[in-house]
Amino acid sequence: MTSARTFVGDPAAIRVEGLTKHYGRRTAVDDLSFTVGAGRVTGFFGPNGAGKTTALKAVVGLARPTAGRALVGGTPVMSLRPDARRLGVYIEPCGAHPGRTGRAHLRSLAALAGLPRRRVGEVLEIVGLAAAAQRRVGTYSMGMRQRLGLAAALLGDPEILVLDEPVNGLDPQGIRWLRTLLRDRAANGGTVLLSSHMLGEAARTVDDVIMIDRGRLVHEGAIRDLERSGGSVVVVRTADAERLSRLVAAAGGRSTHDDDGGLVIEGLDGAEVARLAHRDGVLLEEIGHRTASLEDVFFGLTGGADR
């Protein structure tokens, strides 16, 4: 059902400018600015308590910013009329009364949104909840509630999806289903902004990355650039490490010694390092690659894994 989307006047589907949100003396989001490109899946990452949910609530208009603003399709969200066809939102928890059936929950939202009743059946099928639709939400597992929340977000077949921790509680099959769903939407021109603190899994779904910590932006860019910057590094063992270091530096790379006595080279790939060593007669005892995980990059950007 998703069709190609265009945003008139602003290539960014979502633009956040200097967003700040205080709760009393506590600053949850601090001068945060970023853009979410139309037709892309953007991951919004940060450790627990980084301010992701607060920022997303401000982006969708549920929370009023203390300063700054969020624009959706070029229009400030606080002056936009809420519309399930433009913006589909899932923010934990799923927002369904435990005593109401899944179908009744979606029926009420469809009526509020002015959507046809048949759409309820369609989204229940999409999220795989059709068989459990007549059960009360209080009897649902966490994964089923997650799917119900996603069904609500998908009701209006929106141009933009904003999803807060959508992977939480999903089983591996569910995670794969969600990844396919989100990639398909992006392929059809839809835009997705999803938050997660599980970088490894979400990184398989996203095109772009926004990382925040303590309410502030720490990184924004394409996931490929992040992977590249984190680095696939070359690790070599040689008796002539000093000479190889000089050769690497002359070729534009950087080298450091690791704890195991190996030479870790960044900025050059394995073939380039091997050619340098061969040309200058440096004997390599061992050469290999080591890929820095995105978690390593993430911890490096947000200040460590031990927090």
Partner 1 sequence: MRQLVRGELIKTVTTRTLLGFAVGGVAFAVLNVLVVTVASGTLDEVAEKEEALAGLPVLLLLWGLVGAAGEYRHRTAAPAALVGRRDRGVVLSARIAAYALTGLLLGTLTTLVSVGLALPLLSDQPGPGLTSGDVGAVVAGNLVAFVLSAVLGAALGALIRSPVLGVVVLLIVNFAVVPLLSDAWESGVNLTPFGAAGVLSRMTHHTTLSVVAAGWVLAAWTVAVTLVAVLVERRRDLA
Of 18 and 82, CB closest to partner 1: 82
**Cβ closer to partner 1: 146 or 255?**
146
Q: How far is the CB of 129 from partner 1 (least distance, A)?
A: 16
For residue 19, the minimal CB distance to partner 1 (Å) is 14
Q: Give the separation between CA 211 and CA 168, rounded to whole angstroms.
A: 18
Placement of tokens 């979502």 in the chain: 14
CB of 136 to partner 1, least distance (A): 9
Distance of alpha carbon 255 from alpha carbon 150, whole angstroms: 46
Residue 244 beta carbon to partner 1: minimum distance, rounded to whole angstroms: 58
Q: Which lies closer to partner 1 via its Cβ, residue 5 or residue 105?
A: 105
How long is the chain?
Answer: 307
Give me the least distance between CB of 43 and partner 1, in Å please. Answer: 22
Considering beta carbons, is residue 124 or 152 the nearer one to partner 1? 152
What is the closest distance, in whole angstroms, from the C-beta atom of residue 61 to partner 1 in the complex? 8
Single out the residue of 194, 155, 191 nearest to residue 4, CA to CA: 191
* Residues near partner 1 (CB under 8 A): 57, 60-64, 81-84, 87, 89, 91, 93, 95-101, 104-105, 107-114, 152, 155-156
Name the residue nearer to partner 1 (CB basis): 82 or 221: 82
Nearest to 227 by CA among 209, 244, 245: 209
Residue with Cβ nearer partner 1 (52 or 179): 52
Q: At CA 47, angle to CA 41 and CA 49, rounded to 5?
A: 110
Residue 288 C-beta: closest distance to partner 1, Å: 50
Kindly tell me which of 116 and 200 has the beta carbon lying closer to partner 1: 116
